[in-house]
Chains A and B, each alone.
Chain A
Amino acid sequence: MAEALLEVSGVVKRFGGFTALNGVSLAVKPGERFGLIGPNGSGKTTLINCVSGVLPVTAGSIRFEGREVTGLPPHQRSRLGIVRSFQIPKPFTSMTVRDNLGISLEYAGARRAGAAGHADADEILRSIGLGAKAHLRPGGLTQIEMRKLELARAMAARPKLLISDEAMAGLSSTEVDDILDILFRLNAQGITIIMIEHIMRAVMRFSERVLVLDAGERIAEGTPDQVVRDPAVEKAYLGE
């Protein structure tokens, strides 16, 4: 039984009187394709913020590769290999696309012991179809190009675990397939991927296992087929 790469145990997150996460636990195996879904406001992004370190947890623990990372700041977690992309892209607007990746390469990607050398930023950009835009500033990119930049920048950080936060929202069908392709390829290289998405066909096609959140709690977990047929999930999405 493979040891979990990421172990989230009983994570609670409260904002003042509001409980966003109420004791969420999950375990992601190395190399797994893991889907995280749930209605709006269910706490998906909050969970990701806790895992990546952007938010401190109120209670619970997070372990990565067997070690406790609960108190670590985000920059240290990314150096350990936990890398996330942002739902609303946050590119470094004053730099070129290439330099955006340069930051990840320089700060997170190269510093880890055993990192397989310096993947060229241009190489990464070419592999996802942004090669021609390397010298441009993010301001000149289209929607899907921005999403790709988010992923490329995360890739440049040499992740062991990549968390993709709604990278496909608002994209056309072909664009969704484009992004899905990239994620499949990354997984084939050995990168564990957690995908947060609302686009069901993408999540179902991509994930080996899916966890469903609603109002900060886990309401279902299993293979895509199992989850889709779970009455609790149906209720959560279709509501009263």
Chain B
Amino acid sequence: MRGPAGAVLVGVVVVAAGIGLALLKVNPYIYFAGYVILQYVVIATAWNILGGYAGYVNFGTPAFFAMGAYTAVLLIKSVQAPLPVLLLAGGLVAALLGLGIGYLTLRLRGTFFSIATLALAVVLQTVIMNWEYVGGSRGISVIRPPGPPFGSYVTFLFTVMVGLAVVAVLAARFVERSWIGRGLAALRDSEEAAECMGVPTLRLKLFATTISGFLLGVAGAPFPYYVTFVEPNSAFALEYAVNALAMPMIGGTTSWIGPVIGAVLLGTAAQIATVTISSEMNLFIVGVVLVAFVVLAPEGLLGLARRLRGH
């Protein structure tokens, strides 16, 4: 397929299209819904770098996402930092979180890493709820800065998210096709054999956790400006945990395309569902779909397509 330069070119074109769409000023709901779906593209792609490529399942996606969001809240409230700084800082804090949890648990079996991430989300939420400066359990209001470079602030955020989605997908694609990606696949298939064939499994796992964490944090950083009122229950929402799993599972975990497919399909379905049925029912359905896929079609839609083509 195309080399990295070609991929970047496609990415630039997509971002340009995003800006074009933003300037077109279509139905504003498109931008709100689009932001959410693109956010999930980032989240699903980020999750998959560790979950799909390396085989280590992170159940604590809300922790990383919320870390990005609350780092942004902290910086907005204290120094009114500009958006690029928020993105970078949110990403870095979440990356450090990933590295920390990874360092503590990745030398053990993957199961322990997963359990730790599950407990992590709960604990981090407790910490935030006790931290008055960022709003505690009551939440905090965030005022959007004046004068976005173009359009309204929402359409601007929409384009930012287009850019972040492109960056995330390019990063995943790059990792997947590099020697790192091959090493991750080997350790996913058989960690013991990979290690004995020269693959530095711990280092690669830490790398994947850090990158994954970084991208999740970056996805969360614009969140305060998007919702303008940040409270723990929405930043740590259960949706993030289950969708981060379900989207790559549905799309297919072995390639960067899978999470994108899953995010677009499931994200769009969720947007439609939220206006027709209750959000809880929507969650229930997502859960059922997740279990159905993991039991019946663990390789996702990509896997099904591959099998149909006769591989």
Q: Which residue numbers of A lie inside 8 Å of B, CB to CB? A: 52-54, 73-76, 78-79, 83-84, 86, 90-95, 99, 102-104, 106-109, 111, 153-154, 157
Q: In the complex, what residues of A have CB within 8 A of residue B179's CB?
A: 106
A78-B189 in contact (CB<8A): no
Query: Given A91-B189, A94-B188, do A107 and B196 touch, yes or no (CB 8 Å)?
Result: no
Given contacts A92-B185, A92-B186, A94-B254, contact A107 B197 (CB under 8 A): yes
Asked if B200 contacts A75 (CB within 8 A), the reply is yes
Within 8 A of A (CB), among B93-137: none
Chain B 183-204 against A: per-residue CB contact (8 Å), 1 yes, 0 no? Answer: 1011011101111111111100
Chain B residues lying within 8 Å of A52, measured Cβ to Cβ, are 196
**Cβ contacts under 8 Å, B186 to chain A:** 92, 95, 103
CA A95 to CA B195, docked complex, whole Å: 16
A153 and B197 in contact, given A103-B182, A106-B179 (Cβ under 8 angstroms): yes
Residues of chain A contacted by B185 (CB below 8 angstroms): 92, 94-95
Besides A73-B202, A103-B199, A108-B198, 14 new A-B residue pairs in contact (Cβ under 8 A), listed by A number: A73-B195, A74-B195, A75-B197, A75-B201, A83-B197, A86-B196, A90-B192, A94-B254, A95-B186, A95-B189, A99-B182, A103-B194, A103-B197, A107-B198
- A-B contact number at CB 8 A: 79
Which residues of chain A have C-beta atoms less than 8 A from B192's C-beta?
A: 54, 86, 90
In the assembled complex, which residues on chain B have CB atoms less than 8 Å from the CB atom of A153? 193, 197
Tell me the interface secondary structure of chain B in the complex: helix
Q: Out of A75, A91, A95, A102, name the residue touching B196 (CB < 8 Å).
A: A75
Q: Which 3 A-B pairs have the closest CB atoms?
A: A108-B198, A107-B198, A90-B193
Which A residues are in CB contact (< 8 Å) with B200? Answer: 73, 75-76, 107
How far, in whole Å, are A111 and B200 apart by their CA atoms in the complex?
Answer: 12
30 pairs across A/B with beta carbons < 8 Å? Answer: A54-B195, A73-B195, A74-B196, A75-B195, A75-B196, A75-B201, A78-B197, A86-B192, A90-B190, A91-B189, A92-B186, A92-B193, A93-B189, A94-B185, A95-B185, A103-B182, A103-B186, A103-B197, A103-B199, A106-B183, A106-B198, A107-B197, A107-B198, A107-B200, A109-B198, A111-B198, A153-B193, A153-B197, A157-B197, A157-B198
CB neighbours (8 Å) of B202 from chain A are 73
B residues in contact with A94, CB < 8 Å: 185, 188-189, 254
CB neighbors of A among B201-226 (8 A): 201-202
Give the docked Cα–Cα distance between A78 and B198 (Å): 5
Report B-chain residues with C-beta under 8 Å of the C-beta of A154.
197
Are B199 and A75 closer than 8 Å at their CB atoms? yes
Q: Which residues of A contact B199 (CB under 8 A)?
A: 75, 103, 107
Distance of B165 from chain A, by nearest CB (Å): 26
CB distance from A186 to the nearest CB of B (A): 17
Residue of B nearest to A95 (CB): B185
Contact A104 B182 (CB under 8 A): no
B254, closest chain A residue (CB): A94
- Residues in B whose Cβ lies below 8 Å from that of A91: 189-190, 193
Q: Which residues of B contact A54 (CB under 8 A)?
A: 192, 195-196
Q: How far is the CA of A111 from the CA of B197 in the complex (A)?
A: 12
Q: Which residues of A contact B190 (CB under 8 A)?
A: 90-93
CB A170 to nearest CB in B, in angstroms, measures 19
The 8 A CB mask of B230-274 against A (1 = contact, 0 = none) is 000000000000000000000000100000000000000000000
Within 8 Å by CB of A106, from B182, B196, B201, lies B182
Residues of B within 8 A of A83 (CB): 196-197
- In the bound complex, how far is the Cα of B196 from the Cα of A79, in angstroms? 9
With the chains together, A146 CA to B190 CA distance in Å? 15
- Which of B188, B189, B192, B196 gathers the greatest number of chain A CB atoms within 10 Å? B196
| Chain A residue with the shortest CB-CB distance to B195 | A74
Q: A104 to B186, alpha carbons, bound, how many Å?
A: 10
**Which chain B residues lie closer than 8 Å to A78 at the CB level?**
196-198
Cβ of A76: which chain B residues have Cβ within 8 Å of it?
200
Q: A94-B185, A99-B182 are in contact. Are A75 and B198 (CB under 8 A)?
A: yes
The CA-CA distance from A236 to B200 in the complex, in Å, is 39
Q: Mark B163-179, 1 if CB is under 8 A from A, else 0.
A: 00000000000000001
The CA-CA distance from A108 to B190 in the complex, in Å, is 16
Distance, CA A53 to CA B190, complexed state (A): 16
* Beta-carbon nearest neighbor of A54 in chain B: B192
Query: Which residues of B sit under 8 angstroms from A102, Cβ to Cβ?
Result: 182
Could you say which residues of chain A place their CB within 8 Å of the CB of B182? 99, 102-103, 106
